[in-house]
Chain A
């Protein structure tokens, strides 16, 4: 008897989530409202059914969210009977923990790291479960399932703990924590096929809709108040959808008419650009992701 690749990936992820529940005292799911963290939350629901998910969801709120993301988050939390914890970047700015970036490309993406680490410390979370995948980005390709963080929340990619078989070592000293990535081995296509197979509801942002947009450095951005327009930039109405969802300032929109999961899967199968190709946060330098991850980013 053989498992299909999706069932095998599902089984692996559920195994990892159960290991987290067994090995840690205060785990939390990092919930962004994007498809990957939605799938992780769904897998957690499956892993512990009929018990509730034994950990809360943590949303790091940059204040620059799509309205649809917030609505989806609140309805999901209610449906699962889960606990939601919010870390506010605005609060970090107001209390002087971080300084808002200036200029046209100002983004709160990087500021999130401080808010995240402060929230982890405040609630004493010892394992943060994320939806990062190894196929997304070259630094993420190097991640373990159980990724150790020192007392400053930093990742040391040159000296990671060996991770053998499915034997996950979650032991740590006081003040240290782990990042855990249950869907490490999933590709973008796997995620979409799984969403399709399991009928997982998604925020409407993933499907085509009309939106006021602005083209910047070859990437379409949503023309929301948190985007500072340059004098020469023109706002136009476009049929777009999100391929990934982050905060508004770094979410590139795909011009698309894809209106169903079938359409999206066909679109992804034909695309010649990676999903993070539209992420402004990765374009800041060649090793932008590694540098942010070392500091404690997601």
Chain B
């Protein structure tokens, strides 16, 4: 069975909680004691109906305010797949938490109220999903029951969305599904109210959409960022030295010629280990440890790359799209800690090339500061050359965070050009 990670974002009234509730309920993932607790909590809050949002809004502050502040993770399974839902907040001020949930997703579920069509939040959420390289967006046009299951209305919203997507350069593959989360139309069961719709139900789409096609693809370049060097220093394993890491892309075989970045030294794969088990071949996203034929200097942060295929860039200046995540604004020229999955440098922001106004989709030039939740394109200067790929090529070796050197908070998410 495979694992699909998807993210949902939305505001209070678009029916997101109802939809998630339905997916969980129909896959028998809500237990009696949970439902009972939610019923009691709904009654004590004076809600007239069972408020399914209380299933995911677990924090005291969220329940008090009736909003989602931080990502909640939910799990369900069907006989075909296991699913992880990152249920993220829709409010602008919690964009950073939405970005957290979206960063690992294979699919984004975006809900549109059939009565309202594409609204500002739809645009913002779609833009973030695309920016974070989520391969698929499922646009669920919800509350079709309130527009008489009208095909023309569905087509109209679809056209609206497609025009917006073109304008915003949204790269994710798009699916449109007319649903009624409340009644279950086209969620799990094909709707008899909309015979004109012949596409996937939402569940069928979730069960069949190809997962992270880059991982474990034989044609993708091998990228193994080294996390840790395993050296037992024991009588049984006196000279043992293995480089531990999780394959970010590609397929690695014993006997492969490899090059280590940033040093550029090369060697051959002598063995691939998974605990006691010796493997002939490993593929992303497996965690393995690799032994090489030559005694070369490799440490945490280096990337082991196949000698065949495209090499990573090694540069001291990089351009990236970023989302600023902290109340303290980004300052030009300030020293920040740059962290990739396994490596660290010092970096300064040389230039803010433009800021993206997410409502007007205008690129604003001449900006000298970024505020929380701003999305912008910037140029960084790094203390020493850093090996990387473009984010579009690889979500692991093409991404980085900036860390405040005083508070050590994660303040910026960067996706390299």
Q: Do A and B bind each other?
A: yes
On A, residues with C-beta under 8 Å from B are: 1-5, 7-12, 14-15, 18-19, 21-22, 45-52, 134-135, 137-139, 141-142, 157-158, 160-167, 169, 171-173, 184-185, 187, 189-190, 271-274, 277, 286-287, 290-291
When distances are taken between beta carbons in the complex, the residues of chain B under 8 Å from A162 are 96-97, 99-100, 325, 410, 413
> Which chain A residue has the least Cβ–Cβ distance from B72?
A141
Q: Which of A4, A135, A157, A185 contacts B70 (CB 8 A)?
A: A157
Decide: A15 and B339 in contact? CB cutoff 8 A: no
B55 touches A (CB below 8 Å): yes
* Contact between B300 and A22, CB atoms less than 8 A apart: yes
Q: Which residues of A contact B69 (CB under 8 A)?
A: 158
Complex: A273 Cα to B61 Cα, angstroms = 26
Are A134 and B75 also in contact (CB < 8 A) when A18-B244, A162-B97 are?
yes
Q: Which 7 A-B pairs have the closest CB atoms?
A: A138-B58, A171-B408, A51-B232, A5-B3, A46-B275, A14-B287, A277-B33
Residues of B within 8 A of A (CB): 1-3, 31-34, 37, 41, 55-56, 58-61, 63, 69-75, 77, 81-82, 84, 96-97, 99-100, 103-104, 211, 216, 218, 227-228, 230-234, 236-237, 240, 244-246, 251, 273-276, 283, 285-287, 300, 325, 337, 339-342, 395-396, 399-401, 403, 408-410, 413
Judge whether A169 and B410 touch: CB under 8 Å. Answer: yes
Check B231–A51 contact: CB distance below 8 A.
Answer: yes
Nearest A-chain residue to B40, judged by Cβ: A286
A-B contacts, 19 of them at CB < 8 A, read: A4-B1, A5-B1, A15-B227, A18-B227, A48-B230, A50-B232, A51-B231, A137-B58, A141-B58, A142-B58, A142-B70, A158-B61, A164-B401, A165-B103, A165-B104, A185-B84, A187-B82, A287-B60, A290-B59
Residue of A with least CB distance to B218: A1
Do B401 and A166 touch across chains, with their CB atoms under 8 A apart?
no
Which residues on the B side are within 8 Å of A139 (C-beta)? Answer: 58-59
A158 and B300 CA atoms in complex are apart in Å by 33
Nearest chain A residue, comparing its CB with the CB of B230: A51
Cα of A48 to Cα of B286 in the assembled complex, Å: 15
Residues in A whose Cβ lies below 8 Å from that of B231: 51
Interface of B is mostly: mixed
Q: Which residue of A lies closest to B251 (CB)?
A: A1
Question: B244–A47 contact, CB under 8 A?
Answer: yes
> Could you tell me if A184 and B246 are in contact, using CB atoms closer than 8 angstroms?
no
Give the distance to chain A from B22, nearest Cβ to Cβ, in Å: 18
Name B59's contact: one of A10, A11, A142, A189 (CB within 8 Å): A142
**Complex-state Cα separation, A157 to B395, whole angstroms:** 27
Contact check, A290 vs B2: say whether CB atoms are below 8 A apart. Answer: no
The interface residues of chain B lying within 8 Å CB-to-CB of A52 are: 232
Q: Which residue of A lies closest to B286 (CB)?
A: A11
Q: How far is the CA of A19 from the CA of B236 in the complex (A)?
A: 26
CA distance A138 to B41 in the complex (A): 13
The complex places the Cα of A68 from the Cα of B61 at a distance, in Å, of 40
Distance from A106 Cβ to chain B, minimum over Cβ atoms (Å): 24
Q: Is the CB of A274 within 8 A of B300?
A: no
Residue in chain A with minimal CB distance to B281: A1
Complex Cα gap A274–B33 (Å): 7
| Cross-chain contact of B286 among A3, A142, A171 (Cβ < 8 A) | A3
Contact B104 A166 (CB under 8 A): yes
Would you call B410 and A164 a contact (CB within 8 A)? yes
- Complex CA gap A290/B31 in Å reads 20
**A11 with B216: CB separation less than 8 A:** no
Known contacts A47-B244, A50-B240, A287-B60: A167-B72 contact under CB 8 Å = no
Contacts of B103 in A (CB 8 A): 164-165
12 additional contacts, CB 8 Å, given A21-B228, A164-B399?
Answer: A2-B216, A4-B2, A5-B1, A8-B285, A15-B227, A138-B72, A158-B69, A162-B99, A162-B413, A167-B341, A187-B77, A273-B32
Q: How far is the CA of A296 from the CA of B81 in the complex (A)?
A: 35
Please indicate the chain B residues that have their CB under 8 angstroms from the CB of A15 in the complex: 227, 246, 287
Instruction: Report the bound CA distance from A111 to B330 in whole Å.
Output: 43
Decide: A161 near B31, CB < 8 A? Known: A14-B287, A18-B228.
no
Is the beta-carbon distance between B342 and A49 smaller than 8 angstroms?
A: no
Instruction: Check if A286 sits within 8 Å of B216, measured CB to CB.
Output: no
Tell me, in angstroms, the Cα distance from A175 to B230 when the chains sit together: 29
A22's partner among B81, B227, B275 (CB-CB below 8 A) is: B227
For the complex, what is the distance from the CA of A161 to the CA of B403, rounded to whole Å? 10
In the assembled complex, which residues on chain A have CB atoms less than 8 Å from the CB atom of B1?
Answer: 4-5
Contact in complex: A184, B285 (CB < 8 Å) = no
Q: Are A274 and B59 in contact (CB under 8 A)?
A: no
Q: Which of B73, B251, B300 neighbours the largest number of chain A CB atoms within 10 Å of its CB?
A: B73
B365 to chain A, nearest CB (A): 27
Smallest CB separation, A184 vs chain B (Å): 7
Chain A residues, CB < 8 A from B283: 1, 3
Bound together, the chains give a CA A46 to CA B274 distance in angstroms of 7
Q: Could you say which residues of chain A place their CB within 8 Å of the CB of B63? A: 286-287
Q: Which residue of B lies closest to A270 (CB)?
A: B28
**A185 with B73, Cβ < 8 A, contacts A164-B103, A272-B31 known:** yes
Bound Cα distance from A187 to B73, whole angstroms: 11
Set A51, A184, A274: member contacting B73, Cβ < 8 A: A184
Quick one: closest A residue to B273, CB to CB? A49
Contact A166 B97 (CB under 8 A): no
For residue A138, give the distance in angstroms from its CB to the closest CB of chain B. 3
Q: How far is the CA of A190 from the CA of B409 in the complex (A)?
A: 32
A217 to chain B, nearest CB (A): 13
Instruction: Determine whether the beta carbon of A290 is less than 8 Å from that of B60.
Output: yes
Residue with the greatest number of chain A CB neighbours at <10 A, chosen from B69, B273, B287: B287
Which chain A residue has the least Cβ–Cβ distance from B83? A5
B3 touches A9 (CB 8 A): yes
Contact B286 A272 (CB under 8 A): no
A169/B403 in contact, CB under 8 A = yes
Minimum distance in angstroms from B363 CB to a CB of chain A: 23
